Amino acid sequence: MSEMESNNLTEKNKKSWYALYTKPRWEKKVHERLLQRGIESWCPIQKIQKQWSDRKKIVEEPLFKSYVFVHIDYATERLPVTMVDGVLNFVYWLRKPAIIRTEEIENIQRYLNEKDAKIEMRALEGFKADSKVKITQGVFMDKEGVVIRDGKKKVYVQLESIGQLMVVEFSVSHLEVIG
């Protein structure tokens, strides 16, 4: 391996995923501005059905409100990232920038691409508030969550590294009560 290839490999190994706080409703704008500056960025988008008085429409909304992810070398690319209009700050965990594991990013990407993750309104009948549930199929298989409200359609799953709650809708057939 040449010295140049070795340097490129070392450079790539320094990069990690970080979460950024953005101004409210600026997630897509921040993502575009980061990309324009050559900074690897990802804003997970989900399609949801909105109901107005006269129509229904499928709209794209960020999966995490006020968050965008960047894949950077923090030591060298931190300043250019924070200079982007709409970026408020990095997300910190224990007084250090929170590093998001690549595995978590890949799980979110798989979830968004998975056919079973499409937006469907199915009631979680039989699941009571504060019931612990286990996901039995899909990307989040064997993960556990808690039903927050009785009779609602969603299960909340927490990402460990940033303490962010992620709302994920599952078919009743993909869940089992564990406690």
The pLDDT assigned to 117 comes to: 44
Judged against a pLDDT cut of 80, whether residue 172 lies above it is answered with: no
Q: Which two tokens stand for residue 169?
A: 């809708």
Judged against a pLDDT cut of 80, whether residue 125 lies above it is answered with: no
**Closest to 155 (Cα-Cα) out of 173, 141, 175:** 175
The pLDDT assigned to 9 comes to: 47
pLDDT digits (tens, 9 = 90+) for 140-169: 777 777 665 554 455 555 444 455 666 666
Contacts of residue 77, Cβ cutoff 8 Å, sequence gap at least 6: 39, 70
The domain defined by 3-100 folds into: Alpha-Beta Plaits (3.30.70)
The pLDDT assigned to 135 comes to: 75
Q: What is the mean pLDDT of residues 103-120?
A: 70
The pLDDT assigned to 142 comes to: 74
CA distance 88 to 86: 6
Q: What sign for the dihedral angle of Cα 83, 84, 86, 91?
A: negative
CA distance 126 to 120: 18
> Which helix H or strand E contains 167, and what residues bound it?
strand 164-168
pLDDT digits (tens, 9 = 90+) for 52-93: 888 888 888 898 899 999 999 999 999 999 999 999 999 998
Q: What is the mean pLDDT of residues 109-119?
A: 63
Tokens 């897509």 correspond to: 28
**Is residue 42 within 8 Å of 68, Cβ to Cβ?**
yes
The domain defined by 132-177 folds into: SH3 type barrels. (2.30.30)
The pLDDT assigned to 120 comes to: 37
**Domain ranges in the chain with CATH number 2.30.30:** 132-177
**Is residue 131 within 8 Å of 102, Cβ to Cβ?**
no
The pLDDT assigned to 162 comes to: 52
**Domain ranges in the chain with CATH number 3.30.70.940:** 3-100
Phi, psi of 58 (to 5 degrees): -90, 125
Judged against a pLDDT cut of 50, whether residue 122 lies above it is answered with: no
The pLDDT assigned to 89 comes to: 96
pLDDT digits (tens, 9 = 90+) for 7-53: 544 455 689 999 999 999 999 999 999 999 999 999 998 877 778 88
**Is residue 107 within 8 Å of 115, Cβ to Cβ?**
no
Contacts of residue 55, Cβ cutoff 8 Å, sequence gap at least 6: none
